[in-house]
Amino acid sequence: MCAFISVCFSRRVLPDIISTVEFNCSGELLATGDKGGRVVIFQREQESKNRLLSRGEYNVYSTFQSHEPEFDYLKSLEIEEKINKIRWLPQQNAAHFLLSANDKTIKLWKISERDKRAEGYNLKDEDGRLRDQFRITTLRVPVLMPMDLMVEASPRRIFANAHTYHINSISVNSDYETYLSADDLRINLWHLEITDRSFNIVDIKPANMEELTEVITAAECHPHQCNVFVYSSSKGTIRLCDTRAAALCDRHSKFFEEPEDPSSRSFFSEIISSISDVKFSHSGRYMMTRDYLSVKVWDLNMENRPVETYQVHEYLRSKLCSLYENDCIFDKFECCWNGSDSAIMTGSYNNFFRMFDRNTRRDITLEASRENSKPRAMLKPRKVCTGGKRKKDEISVDSLDFNKKILHTAWHPKENVIAVAATNNLYIFQDKIN
Q: What does pLDDT average to in each consecutive run of 10 residues of the chain (434 residues)?
A: 58 75 95 95 75 68 93 83 96 93 96 80 75 77 78 94 94 96 97 95 93 95 96 96 90 91 83 96 96 96 95 93 94 96 96 95 90 73 80 84 95 94 90 64
CB 130 within 8 A of CB 123: yes
CB 109 within 8 A of CB 39: yes
Domains of the chain: 4-431 (2.130.10.10)
Q: What is the reported pLDDT for 49?
A: 47
d(CA 121, CA 123): 6
Q: What is the reported pLDDT for 214?
A: 94
Centre a 10 Å sphere on the Cβ of residue 131 and count the other Cβ atoms it contains: 12
Q: What is the reported pLDDT for 373?
A: 64
Q: What is the reported pLDDT for 3?
A: 65
Q: What is the reported pLDDT for 434?
A: 45
Q: What is the reported pLDDT for 325?
A: 94
Q: What is the reported pLDDT for 2?
A: 67
CB 280 within 8 A of CB 220: yes
Give CA separation, 19 vs 37, 168, 284, in Å. 9, 12, 26
Interacting residues of 29 by C-beta distance below 8 A, sequence separation 6+ = 23, 41, 42, 43, 44, 61, 88, 96
> Is this prediction's pTM over 0.85?
yes
